[in-house]
Structure 1
């Protein structure tokens, strides 16, 4: 199933006063839960990056620079495709978590996708995502590890908090959507990929996810 746009159909398990979210995507096995957290003002991004580069299994996450993320659906569409490719032995990178970073890309350059969307030494706002590919990966285990590993302020993973830290101009540039906006809609121009919705924000989200999906067709 290639259309990552279907990943927006999801079930969120909420736990009061706990910022880590557990998400189950439609059309995927329920045991493959996604655990995701958003952090602001991260102080140790360089250490997290070093652990990834060293191949430390304890730090096998999709660590995303939140400034390059448009919405929760943007993240979940990427995770959906990565899990789907994992299930069908189609991974192009090391594991399902690095694949989640790669699946954000509008092109097939894996190294470039890590530079653009992954954690860097200068990352200040971070999304940490872990997929339960083994039974020992649970809400409690992920929460405990992230609490000790990430030095930052945990906030709820939602569209409002993502919007507060995103670099919209940079996101549009990466996806070649710099001219996409409300003025285009006023002039009667159709959204890229032949999709449209009731709001310019949702049109942009669908255009971004469409770019990710079309990457596999090129």
Structure 2
């Protein structure tokens, strides 16, 4: 688990875990659908994520929207999922970026809380292998064709990161 403190938002630490080869995605999805408060995380399908910066940009936008009382979804964690989308369709955002029954690689993000408790809960709840939160790991896990289709880009290397983050930032403006 990695804890990240975003510039300008030191009171909202992000606790992030990247899991590979997850076996219980249907269970995790069901917990979210039932509104189980023990599972109040942003559970993301890691195969559709380009980079660590993309995830941090989505978290920054979601926390900023929380602080400005502009959330379009239920809470800051669902807003992280929504913030990844290049468009304003909330249900499409969850379908594309949220954990699905078929998700094999999952990124879990928790805003705030006690790092040791969050890490213990995630390690006990997610049946998968914890891997480092690096761009190299994202490159290994991602579905290139799906990512290109969602963001309508030709390549998914470093040159695509600015376009992806820009499309996330500009939606709704």
User: Could you say whether these structures have the same fold, taking a TM-score greater than 0.5 normalized by the shorter chain as the test?
Assistant: yes
Displacement of 1:216 in angstroms is: 2.6
Q: Distance in 2 between matches of 1:168 and 1:85?
A: 29
Q: Distance in 2 between matches of 1:157 and 1:57?
A: 25
Q: Distance in 2 between matches of 1:68 and 1:55?
A: 24
Residue correspondence of structure 1 range 34-49 to structure 2 within 5 A: 34-49=14-29
Q: Distance in 1 between matches of 2:31 and 2:3?
A: 24
- Indicate whether 1:208 and 2:170 are aligned: no
Displacement of 1:212 in angstroms is: 0.5
* Among candidates 92, 103, 109, match of residue 123 of structure 1: 103
Q: Give per-residue Cα distances to partners, 1:169-194, cap 9 Å, x unaligned.
A: 211111111xx34xxxxxxxxxxxxx
* Among candidates 139, 145, 160, match of residue 136 of structure 2: 160
Runs of 4+ off more than 4 Å: none
Q: TM-score, normalised by structure 1?
A: 0.78
Q: Distance in 2 between matches of 1:212 and 1:52?
A: 23
Q: Distance in 2 between matches of 1:31 and 1:58?
A: 21
Displacement of 1:208 in angstroms is: 0.3
Q: Give per-residue Cα distances to partners, 1:51-106, cap 9 Å, x unaligned.
A: 00000000010000000000000100000000000011100000000000000000
Match of 1:25, SS? coil
Question: Where do 5+ consecutive residues of structure 1 fail to align?
Answer: 1-19, 182-199
State the structure with more CA Rg: 1
Q: TM-score, normalised by structure 2?
A: 0.97
Q: Give the aligned partner of residue 147 of structure 1.
A: 123
CA RMSD of aligned residues (A): 1.0
Q: Give the aligned partner of residue 27 of structure 1.
A: 8
- The number of equivalent residue pairs is 173
Match of 1:216, SS? coil
- Indicate whether 1:99 and 2:69 are aligned: no
Question: Where do 5+ consecutive residues of structure 2 fail to align?
Answer: none
